[in-house]
Amino acid sequence: MTKLKLCLLFISAVLISCGKEPVPTIAKEAINLNTNGKENIRMRNREIRQDIINALVGHEIEYWINEDDSIGFYSKDAERVDAIGYAAIGAYAARN
């Protein structure tokens, strides 16, 4: 039952994220748009955060760690980073 709820939550988050403005998810993920072509993602769960960083390296997406501990990246990679983030959240939910 819990896994079903998590799957439904994940699917809902994916569908809601198709809007124009970023929407924070239950997993404390927030994407902030900046006017200088850079964005960031904040992930408080260490396991999901490490999965995201590993995937960024694997997909050769340029990223950096900001002073507030968020993961910065260029806007041109936003769609790929979103997909990586949702995949990491889904994998975490499946493992737990």
What is the per-residue pLDDT for 1?
55
Given CATH 3.30.70, say whether it is the number of domain 2-95.
yes
pTM greater than the 0.75 cutoff: no
Q: Which long-range contacts (CB under 8 A, 24 or more apart) does 15-23 make?
A: 17/82, 17/86
- Rounded CA separation 37/59 (Å): 20
Mark the ranges of the chain whose per-residue pLDDT is less than 50.
18-23, 26-28, 35
Alpha helices in the chain (DSSP H): 2-16, 46-58, 78-95
What is the per-residue pLDDT for 96?
85
Q: Which residues are 41's β-sheet partners?
A: 31, 71
What is the per-residue pLDDT for 19?
45
What is the per-residue pLDDT for 41?
92
Residue 17 C-alpha from the chain's centroid: 11
